[in-house]
Amino acid sequence: MDRVHQLRELLDQYNYEYYVLDNPSVPDSEYDRLMKELIDIEAAHPELITPDSPTQRVGAEPLKAFQKVIHKTPMLSLGNAFDEADLRDFDRRVRQGVGDQKVTYVAELKIDGLAVSLTYENGQLVLGATRGDGTTGEDITQNIKTIRSVPLKLKQPVNLEVRGEAYMPRASFERLNKRRAEAGEPLFANPRNAASGSLRQLDPKIAADRKLDVFLYQIGSTDGKELRRHSDGLEWIQSLGLKTNPEWRRCDSLQKVLDFIAYWTEKRPELPYDIDGIVIKVDSLEQQRMLGFTAKSPRWAIAYKFPAEEVVTTVEGIALTVGRTGAITPTAVLTPVQVAGTTVGRATLHNEDYIREKDIRIGDQVVIHKAGDIIPEVVRVLKERRTGREVPFRMPEQCPDCGSDLVRIEGEAALRCINPKCPAQIQEGLIHFVSRNAMNIDGLGEKVIKQLFKNDLVQDVADIYALTYDDLIKLERMGDKSVRNLLSAIAESKKNSLERLLFGLGIRYIGAKAAKTLAQAFGTIDRLMAATTEELLSVEEIGDKMADSIRTYFSSPDVRALIGELKSYGLNMTYTGGTTQEANAADSPFNGKTVVLTGKLSAMSRDEARSAIEKLGGKVTGSVSKKTDLVIAGEDAGSKLTKAEALGIEIWDEARFMEALNT
């Protein structure tokens, strides 16, 4: 019917003016009158209803679960810059990468929300998805449709995948928390947490009620549109009816980028939505292609993060840990304090040089923050508050675990234990080998590994495959069923694709992503072991340090003997195309950590939270102990939270948890 077509065009135009341009041309009453007319016509003639009708924004039944979506082009995360020096280093790398060409940047506000992808076919919205792990997201199309600034139909019939940030305006956040307070429901900690929780509601009516918004900022893919610059892309998608943030600027020098950052650092409180930094991108798409990508992020973009919240606490002690590569890492044990919404009781001190440079002493009062809003870090010592009772710290000359002399390798800051028989290194290497991102041997966690080592049942990773029922049944808390399940998991791990084995071996500088790249490039471990430096360097994303590390590792007779032993146990040594966790999983704050969930989470169920943590390399247990690394506390957390506080275990609230999942 002509009238239906006319009504839809009018309503789409009025909707665009109101929600995208913020400049309505008709009063709300006129919009409501036309919408009612369209609803009445469609009710009388259901055959006229189409997916892009304005009436279909909130018409779907609640979902039972979100379906997984594989992104055609990965949604990579951005590298971070925390100060001017980081930005100048980024600018230097860009200019080196493009040679003598002039570089222009685009600076954009970094919206503090949830990354989403929208797919249009012939101008029709067909898919809305979360970023997920960058490769696999969740289908949230029904909830995306509830965001009024998202057009169900573009102004041109194009095929387009576009990325952006869904967020909750501050006004919507305040209204939502006010209603929840009146209803006696737990409050959301911040707009980002609220936006994430809203888009993951199975009932789209709930999402619609939350009044979310979106800014689109990047073209993922499109057909038939030739663009020369990123800024051209922003203007083009805006012309299609998509909402972009107006506060972006083309900057023909780094100084203009710095000026833009300085302006918004001061003005950010005046915005009606939250931002947590500024994104800087190379404007030329040709230069973007020249610069390419690392394993985790584009080389042509970086996210400047605003300075973190700073608080004062006391250094109660300095603890030492021995990593699987022998590096000795000092950690400040702090009087627990709230930082950016979570309780912090420990902060990394990196190495001896770091402690000396900052002159950190036991008993000092120090200023700490979370670097990137994630990692607790000592900013400076309040020397003016010293009483004279503070104790200078000296790194030991011997390994705190095996007693061997520590060495400092030329060009490195860390002290290392180079004893190949160091119990701490062996155990950490075994724990890494069986971890979820590596060989993924379910049931063979840190506690079992330490029992096996203590009982002289394992000394290297090959010993895992020699374990028998009689070996395992003697271990503490290992019954018949547990032993049989573990032996089955060990046997199953032999089938893993090559990249899991490579990552599990713990070759220095080779993370999960690089391991998969190498496995794909060489196909078998024999070909990789025989590869020359030149052959390794010919593989995209493998640099000099990686190549040297691989050659050094496989030149060791002990390593070659180990590979031979693993072959004799029947381990697969070939790339089979199996999947591994992305590098962001390997580098996630949950990787290798034992996590306890307590209290009620508003954004997801307990099972969903467990699954998300395990996907990022964590292990979720039901009770708090000294072995617990992290406790995530929702509303009405009880005895587990109390015990975690008493043990000085790191505690996150739901807001911090959601930030970690969505970063």
Give me the mean pLDDT over the 482-509 stretch.
94
CA atoms within 13 A on the CB side of 421: 3
Q: Is the pLDDT of residue 540 over 70?
A: yes
CA atoms within 13 A on the CB side of 655: 16
Give me the mean pLDDT over the 144-162 stretch.
92
Phi-psi region of 599 (alpha: psi -120 to 50; beta: other; left: phi over 0): left
CA-closest candidate to residue 645, choices 635, 663, 631: 631
Of 11 and 108, the structure prediction assigns the larger pLDDT to 108
Measured over the CA atoms of residue 466, residue 469, residue 474 and residue 478, the dihedral's sign is positive
Of 74 and 186, the structure prediction assigns the larger pLDDT to 74
Q: pLDDT tens, 264-284?
A: 988 888 899 989 899 999 999
Cβ neighbours of residue 578 closer than 8 Å, sequence gap 6 or more? 496, 497, 499, 500
Q: pLDDT tens, 221-252?
A: 888 788 999 999 999 999 999 999 999 999 99
Residues written for the chain: 663
Residue 374's pLDDT band, with cuts at 50, 70 and 90, is low
Q: CA 225, CA 233: separation in Å to the nearest integer?
A: 9
Residue 581's pLDDT band, with cuts at 50, 70 and 90, is very low
Q: Which domains does the chain have, with CATH numbers?
A: 2-56 (1.10.287.610), 70-305 (3.30.470.30), 311-392 (2.40.50.140), 423-580 (1.10.150.20), 588-662 (3.40.50.10190)
Q: Is the pLDDT of residue 331 over 70?
A: yes
C-beta of residue 79 within 8 angstroms of C-beta of residue 221: no
Q: pLDDT tens, 393-423?
A: 999 999 999 999 999 877 777 888 988 789 9
Q: CA 30, CA 27: separation in Å to the nearest integer?
A: 6
What the block records as the tokens of 650 is 């790191």
Burial 128-166 (b: 16+ CB within 10 A, else e): bbbbbbbbbbbbbbbbbbbbbbbbbbbeeebbbbbbbbb
pLDDT at position 29: 73
pLDDT at position 580: 37
pLDDT at position 108: 97
Q: Is the pLDDT of residue 367 over 70?
A: yes
Cβ neighbours of residue 102 closer than 8 Å, sequence gap 6 or more? 252
Sequence-ordered alpha helix ranges (H) in 376-523: 423-434, 446-454, 469-473, 480-493, 498-504, 512-522
Q: How far is CA 61 from CA 151, 202, 384, 432, 604, in A?
A: 20, 9, 63, 44, 19
C-beta of residue 275 within 8 angstroms of C-beta of residue 112: yes
Mean pLDDT estimate for the chain: 87
Angle, CA 262 vertex, CA 260 and CA 265 arms, to 5°? 105
pLDDT at position 28: 67
- Looking at the chain, the whole-number percentage of residues with pLDDT higher than 90 is 51
Task: Report the range out of 58-67, 302-311, 585-594 with the highest average pLDDT.
Answer: 302-311
Rg for the chain (alpha carbons), in Å?
A: 27
Of 205 and 61, the structure prediction assigns the larger pLDDT to 205
- Return the active site residues: 110
Residue 60's pLDDT band, with cuts at 50, 70 and 90, is low
Residue 323's pLDDT band, with cuts at 50, 70 and 90, is confident
Give me the mean pLDDT over the 75-79 stretch.
86
Q: CA 608, CA 606: separation in Å to the nearest integer?
A: 5
CA-closest candidate to residue 288, choices 202, 219, 367: 219
Strand-pairing partners, residue 337, are 344
> Which amino acid belongs to residue 396?
P
